[in-house]
Amino acid sequence: MTAKFLLPIFLIYALSGCEPKKQSPHFIGLASDSNLFVLINESVIPQPDWSKEHNVVVQWLAEPDQLHPNNGLSSSKNELFLYLHSFLLLVDLRTNDLTPVLAESLPEVSNNGMRVKFRLRKEARWDDGSRITSDDVAFTVKAGKCKLTENPHQKSVWYNLSGFQFGEDSQSFTFLMRQPYIHNVTMWVDLPVIQKKVYDPEGLLNEFSVEQMDDSLTVQNQKIKKWAEQYNSGKYSRDINFISGAGTYRISEWKAGQSLTITRKNNFWAEGLNGIYFHALPGKIIFKIIRDANAASLDLLSQQSDVSSALSTRQLLQLKDDSLFNRNYHSRFVDTFFFTYAGLNNKPEIAGRKKLFDQTAVRKAMAYLTPADEINRLVNKGLNKRMTGPVSFLKKEFNTSLEPIPADPEKAMKLLSEAGWTDTDGNRILDKVIDKKKTEFEFSIMYMTTVTEWKDMASIMADAYRKAGMKVNLLPVDYPAWITAAQQLNYDMMLGSWGQSSLPDDFTQVWHSSSILTGGSNFSGFSNLTADALIDSIKVETNENKRMELSARFQQVIYQEQPVIFLFASVRRMVVHKRFENVELYFERPGILLNNLSLIPFAAVQP
């Protein structure tokens, strides 16, 4: 998947028959050689107050902004899609192998990587019983590629798919790619196949080819405009009667701001097939929104929820001191590919902000002023590992030569002075003449109220910056305000997190200059010609050794420029009720596959 979707672990074989062969350069391999999950297989003593009902209640911090197949960015949406939709490919997180889901097998890839041929499973069916065909796949591509579809975050991925060829029958087809690309195959773990009959009931796109979706003139055709208006509408985003997929579950209830419930489908097409994505063991999965930290803890102590990854480190450590909690729940701190950072506005002029962090020297000074180790000790209880750049330490391409930047106020003050920031009027606030106007070093740290640790982190950072002669304000906001400010570069400093995966990185969306204010996620406004050139090379380099060399150089550039302050590799705080057995917790998001949770033997399913 893309940077915001489930991005699995790949040690992929090029297939010819069933035996593993020499790895193809087009099945890009991943993270590390070790297992990237935790198995909880403890003996437990069943308790009389444990529920025997085979449903799962999950704590959620926030509901998705929408559930459109292409539009919208929220991570909770991507988690839901694992249960609501089916994909050509996903990853078996037990084996770290790419696994076919709707596809009958892994695709055949041409030697140059430009032709990717799939065949669909003959069993694959939509909810109405009709077969999933290549016509549905072609429509899925048209919908994603259409210039009028409101999915800017996906456009670069779809653009590289230049054509579509139907195969010898309705189950086979070939994707034609514009250029070699590290995700020409793995892109399909992100993109659900959708039913043409549901999302284009009038057949408005029938007469248009996949190739025509790239034509700016063609997409102004009235039929395409009519289709796009309907497709982008709210009914395919929030109306559960129109949110339809080929997954194991369907939405049965959505109480906005409170909960969302998915229910196991009867006679699901893959029933009986082996694979973690074909199971639907719980009858219902209820995602319950709990934003208040105390309420979340009390909810667990009263056994109102079964699963949570929404607790802060402090909360979970407090709960682990409670014997009743330990009687009822497994709990683990699990490594992830996520990291937290302090974003610095590299292009403040875009939104008319003060020019504070547009100089490399100042950004480096801020890194030296940030007491990251103290924050980790006080807020994360020392559980998180320091980040040095935009690549997780779990990945092969992690640049081990880069050292975490230590707190060094003396070095920071020297850099600030060299950049022209001094206290010229004796008021203990640094100042500088910018654009012929005396400017004091005053700024706000923006953070989301939904992440409980971030208030503490922001407070500690603000204290350190104030000691250096800066006037710092705290700016707590909700998610909509945070994402709007980030997208518009309308902030000074912000706390954020980024969800990587074990897939090789295409850094375009977050770090390329073309992703500033264009629907990408370059929220720092970072722009560097060398970085852009490296990014452009990395994403088309299928030779792993060469790609790793390029990635190491890119990380070095980012390290030198410090467009953001890299803080910590995140740990996921996982809690699972002990009435479920053989629980697997993954480093990849969402961290757990709820459809695989089985009850311990004593607990018969209630009628």
Query: Is the pLDDT score of 61 beyond 60?
Result: yes
* pLDDT mean over 352-366: 97
What is the tens place of the pLDDT at every residue in 131-165? 999 999 999 999 999 999 999 888 878 989 999 99
* pLDDT mean over 240-253: 96
Alpha-carbon distance of 497 to 566, in angstroms, equals: 10
Query: Is the pLDDT score of 310 beyond 70?
Result: yes
What is the tens place of the pLDDT at every residue in 554-601? 999 999 999 999 999 989 999 999 999 989 999 988 899 999 999 998
* pLDDT mean over 126-133: 96
What is the tens place of the pLDDT at every residue in 387-404? 999 999 988 899 999 999
Q: Tell me how far CA of residue 415 lies from CA of 410, 422, 451, in angstroms.
A: 9, 11, 32
Question: Do the domain assignments include residue 17?
Answer: no
| pLDDT at res. 605 | 40
The whole model's pTM is what? 0.84
**CATH number of the domain bearing residue 530:** 3.10.105.10
Question: Do the domain assignments include residue 76?
Answer: no
- Helix 360-369 vs helix 452-467: crossing angle, to nearest 10: 110
* pLDDT mean over 310-339: 94
H runs (alpha helix) in 320-446: 323-328, 360-369, 372-379, 409-418
The model's confidence at residue 54, banded by pLDDT at 50, 70 and 90, is: very high
| pLDDT at res. 98 | 84
**What backbone torsions phi and psi does residue 314 show, to the nearest 5 degrees?**
-60, -45
Alpha-carbon distance of 115 to 140, in angstroms, equals: 18
Question: Do the domain assignments include residue 314?
Answer: no
Assign 297 to helix, strand or coil.
Answer: helix
Query: Is the pLDDT score of 14 beyond 80?
Result: no
Nearest Cα residue to 492 out of 527, 449, 441, 456: 441
Question: Do the domain assignments include residue 492?
Answer: yes
| pLDDT at res. 60 | 93
* pLDDT mean over 443-465: 94
Q: How do strand 493-499 and strand 442-448 relate by DSSP bridges?
A: parallel
Q: Tell me how far CA of residue 270 lies from CA of 202, 333, 406, 434, in angstroms.
A: 29, 33, 53, 64
* pLDDT mean over 427-433: 97
| pLDDT at res. 240 | 95
Peptide linkage before 590 cis (omega within 30 of 0): yes
**What backbone torsions phi and psi does residue 184 show, to the nearest 5 degrees?**
-60, -25
What share of the chain has pLDDT > 70, as a percent? 93
Alpha-carbon distance of 218 to 225, in angstroms, equals: 10
Query: Is the pLDDT score of 254 beyond 80?
Result: yes
| pLDDT at res. 542 | 83
The model's confidence at residue 35, banded by pLDDT at 50, 70 and 90, is: low
The model's confidence at residue 73, banded by pLDDT at 50, 70 and 90, is: confident
What is the tens place of the pLDDT at every residue in 156-205? 789 899 999 999 999 999 999 998 888 899 999 989 999 999 999 999 99
Query: Is the pLDDT score of 8 beyond 90?
Result: no
Question: Do the domain assignments include residue 235?
Answer: no
| pLDDT at res. 450 | 80
Q: Which residues of 274-312 are buried (b: 16+ CB within 10 A; e: fewer)?
A: eebbbbbbbebbbbbbbbeeeebbebbeebebbbbbbbb
For 154, the token pair is 């996906």
Question: Do the domain assignments include residue 475?
Answer: yes
Torsion of CA 450, 453, 454, 460, to 10 degrees: 160
The model's confidence at residue 209, banded by pLDDT at 50, 70 and 90, is: very high
| pLDDT at res. 29 | 44
Domain that holds residue 378: 338-570
Query: Is the pLDDT score of 16 beyond 50?
Result: no
Question: Do the domain assignments include residue 246?
Answer: no
| pLDDT at res. 185 | 92
| pLDDT at res. 34 | 55
| pLDDT at res. 78 | 87
Asked if residue 379 lies in contact with residue 539, where contact means CB atoms within 8 angstroms, the answer is no
For 61, the token pair is 């911090």
The number of distinct structural domains making up the chain is 1
Question: Do the domain assignments include residue 532?
Answer: yes
